[in-house]
Structure 1
């Protein structure tokens, strides 16, 4: 890798270096990895009589004359050029030097947008190159178009990139020869030449494939290394095949398992019946029955003489898990306990003592489980309900409570397959797509205008009068001078004095203290509040089967995944449920993401659409997950390359192919992201 500062390049002083910094370019390697965002094909040279109005085109011509005019305070420079078929005029504003920059008789290559004005062909602010230049970077070829910043022009950037590539030839290779040969990849040096200055479109595509492959290959190598580091030299307790406890529990469940649930449980049970520690993501849409599968896995570990733990992101969710699971386990003679921040003093000491002696089989809780004095006799399975993501560090702290426990992570945020391989590349993945029987699909509608809004709230009143509950979600906590969007506090005041007067309403937002938030959510969950008016804090969900109505104010201000998560707060009982997306009258076109939500309830379809609409960087939030941003790979488009790169990475790391070359590069690229030492 070329770690020289950008100022080591000829022509780059301190002023230009500051502009480069705005693009994240500090070293020469940053510059050559500043890839084009698109290309323009300027390889076809037309004659002047072939030029068409309104079209970008390239043509060669000879300079005839130049002049400068002043019109209404503006300087207009004109350069007249000719070929054997006609005349064209090149025009620049407030650049008087242009009129004399080329002598009469000079042959030039011109590129720009052609306009016809009174039978005269004009090209405003064109790019002009000398036809006999030693290296034509801006014309007569496929030309790269880069992201720029103020004070840094496209021509300057192309010249500096070409100079950097020439000075560093050949670029050092970063992929083992066996991998390049097997997957038919260009050499790195040629790939970088062709990605910046392609000889043709096929060469550009081959270069892109090589660079995307390399980027994904090293990410997958890093994830494989982390997985090996966590699992290879460690052994978990091998569990026996399912016995009476698991079978009796399955018979007690209110519904039989769906096919997806059964498949997921079989994958989990297979992991647990091995000495290799399970590290598995259980992914399913809201309400798909992930908890039932996790409960069977917890029963399995207890049946094998071990303890289980389930960590939830909020106290109320932990309490709901406890209320659901404890009665099922009690019938099987198994002891379940709940540990949250509210449990203190003698009650807490007694609970921890029972846990340490093995009297408690399953412990359910929140972050309180991470305290040092929470000690298990023999922990066999860690389940984290990570639907809104504990950090990797917190999950690891829980794993350290046991010698080498199996680990199951539940996520209610559907993630497209390519994203799952990247975000959870160090884990196995099980997916539940089917919803359990009895679940009615949520009817989603888009409404705009005050008259429609009034009808929606009148319908909410009828739902509340029938003993059902509803949510109203707003994008802001309080009114803002900068944003014309509904705030929760203002909507609460409006609704409680108009449509919802006399109906028990609650207000919930992120600025409330934790105790007040928990109290409001508990009142809603237990039916003391009929309508909850809130911000997106309710995304971290609670299970309220009587909630049948979700109204989202200014829905066009929310992301697609966020809207889907909010919709998932309803439809959790047997009653028909509704989600209404209200948006501003001024929005003449319904945003595409709202249409997607109205067309499907399938969270995996929503996730794929979200990936396409937002792009992988925003979708994934790389920095949030501690992953490096992709410079060229696009996980929405590069699925096939990801599959190959993953296969190559697993082969390399499993068989130690080329690891002498790979490990130093992993260390260079990823140490700061994963905080581990990539060493042999």
Structure 2
């Protein structure tokens, strides 16, 4: 029969009645969609974390290494996982391999160095209850063989303890390795945080253990629980079955069971996504209301000449997007538009149209690309398209000579440069424009929102166009690019031959290498992509370098093999890609740094090793690097594909080349978390990791946000408290002047 242990709330967590939020004060010089908060009105959750009982300055410095600087940061530092120690049993009834809690008296403790390593100490405690005896073992490492550990990890002899861990049995003995324990006799201050409950497990830093973090979080909830105020409208809570905010924070850290932990996390995930969507929606309304923009006239002779000179017919999708861009640029407010299209769908021509329209109306255009070689590729493409029209196109990049850079800077400043293409160098302080009317960023997921804002700010209120070759399902596009209008090029130019995709087992590598050799003998080139090693970028580089060395030595000794990886400098990467583009490398061994890249029409084969370790969208982007010329492209996925999800990925890649269908399947298989990498999309850090099962929460949060009138968030309005929280969480993003 299981023994019932005391079940109480973590130390002294008070019952809190609902309280009203802080008063939000209007800034008379701003529009109704923006407000400021005076220091006296700020929530106590913004107190430094050092104010929490048990923290102090030394621990506060350690917590800052985890990004925790305020009480709010601490509350939002959510557990990575949980250990369920709610099953409590007598020692004799424990089951091997089962997480369990026992309660008993410590009858002996022994600390001794191990025989193999005198710096590794062994602490052994024997615990007895009415049914038997269990042995618990802990290990401690010292700096010197002569030193004893300052503190034994074992409980003291004679103590009555809760002990939680995974039980094992050997030779009739019950044992635990490195279990958690707590004194069971200390009253309220001894409430179990580490045993006999669902125990939170946090990410740590040096000098802070799990017990310390749990106690600090418990103290924060106890001391600041009254300050956790509801920010979601109560009708939203009811419609989506969400618990109140304070309950969610209590139960995400110290849940009574796993169901409560799941519900609490769902509530907090909803809140983050709901606030983010509203922040983007708010930001878009600010941008549209902040100025009249550069209102252009209807297309004139220059645009007509551009259209007439095109060596190919536009697709219906391209024509539709061009009409949308024209409508924006001829309208009363600045354009803020994302154009997303599949690989090879013709986004460059659409961007060129916008640049020609800009020049025709007397303004300059700028296009920013993530790498120098991609910027140079755009330069060549735009010169071919715009040069015959007499439009001057200049390049500004980090690798230019001082003379070339100075000439380009002077031309941009004077207006002689009608179109300027560049890398991050475009947003440096010495780059000035005479009259910037259009700011384009290509491959948006390589830039932060701030970077495109800086570029746009160089022109006052220019039109903004963002180009992305990563198809994103509509729900995610609304969450990630909610501050932009979205256009989609969902049609490929006629005549493009789809890349032929094959999935092979690792045992078939010799045949794959033979096929690569045959393609190279015909004058083609090949990529071989190595996966990133999740644990370490350094290991990834080592793996790619080792593979390049093996292939060059054992498989392709007569061919020119190159190496490209993420630890190279930008100039080194560009040099390798230039050699590959110009035919000085036959086979390029690479990590995924080629995912966004350069047009090498002669590359006809891509071999992707351990393909199951890539997401579908990433595989599709990689595949798009081949078959860009007049020769058929081949993508060979080398994968054991042991799991069902991996097999489904390989089958989808073989079945379709439609990037939007692939994006939907990727979302179904992996969930939305991959799309919320803040470094990819330039979003502020989210407090909650977006998990595969969160797709429904995301859809509900966006649906709820769409029903909120932005005007109601302003000072003195019904949702003033919600507006305060949005400003508090995402205020920096909302206040940027550029899109």
The alignment's TM-score, normalised by the length of structure 1, stands at 0.75
Picking from 113, 117, 128, the partner of 2:166 is 113
1:80 to 128, 144, 148: 128
Q: Quick one: which of 392, 402, 407 aligns to 1:337?
A: 392
**Which of these residues, 128, 132, 136, is aligned with residue 92 of structure 1?**
136
1:29 counterpart = 2:85: no
Superposed CA offset, 1:283-330 (max 9, x none): 223212222333344455566676655444556545544554555557
Q: 2:598 aligns with which of 542, 566, 572?
A: 542
Pair 1:2-2:45 in alignment: yes
Q: Which of 568, 571, 586 is the aligned partner of 1:531?
A: 586
C-alpha contact 2:443 2:596 (8 A) present in aligned 1:
no
List aligned pairs for 1:437-516, cutoff 5 A. Answer: 437-445=494-502, 455-471=511-527, 483-486=542-545, 490=549, 494=553, 498-500=557-559
Deviates more, 1:318-327 or 1:552-561: 552-561
Aligned residue among 218, 222, 236 for 2:275: 218
1:257-296 equivalences under 5 Å are: 257-258=314-315, 260-296=317-353
Q: CA deviation at 1:491?
A: 6.9
Return closer, same or farther for 1:403/1:48 CA change in 2, 3 Å cut-off.
Answer: closer
Instruction: State which of 487, 504, 517 in structure 2 corresponds to 1:430.
Output: 487
Residue 580 of structure 1 and its aligned partner are, at CA, apart by: 4.0
| 1:571 is aligned to 2:610 | no
Preserved CA contact (<8 Å) 1:23 1:148: yes
Aligned length: 652
Selected match of 1:66 from 94, 104, 107? 107
* Equivalent residues of 1:89, 1:123 under 8 A apart: no
Contact 2:60/2:69 (<8 A) preserved: yes
Q: After superposition, give the CA deviation of every residue in 1:33-76 in whole Å (9 maximum; x if it has no partner).
A: 332333455556567776544323456x7x58835689998664
State the match for 2:159 in structure 1: 101
Q: Kindly tell me: are residues 180 and 131 of structure 1, through their superposed partners in 2, closer, same or farther at Cα, counting changes over 3 Å? A: farther
1:488 and 1:533 in contact (8 A); partners too:
no
Alignment match, 1:161: 217
Moved more, 266-275 or 38-47: 38-47
By how many angstroms is 1:634 displaced? 1.2
Which shifted more, 244-253 or 393-402? 244-253
Distance 1:347 1:168, change over 3 A: closer
Provide the C-alpha distance between the structure 2 equivalents of 1:606 and 1:235, rounded to a whole number of angstroms: 39
3-state SS of the aligned residue for 2:515? helix
In the TM superposition, residue 279 of structure 1 has moved relative to its aligned partner by 0.8
Q: Distance in 2 between matches of 1:615 and 1:130?
A: 42
8 Å CA contact 1:445–1:598 kept in 2: the answer is no
Q: Does 1:173 align with 2:229?
A: yes
Aligned to 1:541, the other structure's residue is in SS state: coil
Gap change, CA 1:39 and 1:578, over 3 Å in 2? same
The 1-side partners of 2:101 and 2:350 are apart by: 64
- Could you give the per-residue CA deviations for residues 237-279 of structure 1, whole angstroms, max 9, x where no partner exists? 4456667876786676566555544554444344334212111
Residues 450 and 682 in structure 2, CA contact (< 8 A), matched pair in contact too: no
Q: Secondary structure at the match of 2:542?
A: coil
- Residues 177 and 297 of structure 1: is their aligned pair in 2 closer, same or farther, counting only changes over 3 Å? same
Deviation string 1:210-234 (CA, Å, 9 cap, x unpaired) is 3223323433344344334433121
Mapped to 1, the partners of 2:180 and 2:405 lie a distance apart of 79
Structure 2 match to 1:105: none
Shift of 1:533: 3.3
Tell me how far 1:410 sits from its aligned partner.
Answer: 0.7
Question: How many Å apart are 1:497 and its aligned residue?
Answer: 7.7
Cα pair distance change 1:68/1:264, threshold 3 Å: same
Partner residue of 1:386?
443
Matched position secondary structure for 1:340: strand
| Unaligned runs of at least 5 residues, structure 1 | 103-107
Q: After superposition, what is the alpha-carbon deviation per residue over 1:601-629, rounded to whole angstroms, capped at 9, x for unaligned?
A: 55556667877999877765435765443
Q: Which has the higher contact order (CA 8 A, sep 6+)?
A: 2
Alpha-carbon distance change, 326 to 648 in structure 1, aligned in 2, over 3 angstroms: same
- Indicate how the Cα distance of structure 1 residues 9 and 268 shifts in structure 2: closer, same or farther if over 3 A, else same: same
Q: Aligned partners of 1:413 and 1:508: how far apart in 2?
A: 22
Alpha-carbon distance in structure 2 between the residues aligned to 1:148 and 1:366: 38
3-state SS in 1 of match to 2:626: coil
1:405 and 1:203 map into 2 onto residues whose CA distance is 49
Distance 1:244 1:3, change over 3 A: closer
Distance 1:23 1:195 in 2: 18
Q: What is the RMSD computed on CA atoms of the aligned residues?
A: 5.2
Q: How does 1:166-245 map to 2 (within 5 A)?
A: 166-173=222-229, 175=231, 177=233, 185-199=242-256, 203-239=260-296
Cα distance change, pair 174–259 in 1 and its aligned pair in 2 (3 A): farther
CA contact (8 A) 2:280 2:734 kept: no
* C-alpha distance after superposition, 1:646-671 (max 9, x if no partner): 46556353443457545654554445
**Counterparts in 2 of 1:630 and 1:610: CA distance versus 1, 3 Å:** farther
**1:382–1:593: structure 2 CA closer, same or farther, 3 Å change rule?**
farther
CA distance in 2 between counterparts of 1:619 and 1:591 reads 22
TM-score, L = length of structure 2: 0.70
Shift, 1:548, TM fit: 0.8
- What are the ranges of 5 or more consecutive residues in structure 2 without an aligned counterpart? 1-43, 116-121, 139-152, 533-537
Give distance in 2, aligned partners of 1:484 and 1:560: 22
- Paired residue secondary structure (1:336): coil
* Structure 1 residue 570, shift from structure 2 partner: 0.8
State whether residues 180 and 186 of structure 1, in contact with CA within 8 Å, keep that contact through their aligned partners in structure 2: no
Paired residues of 1:388 and 1:540 also in contact (CA < 8 A)? no
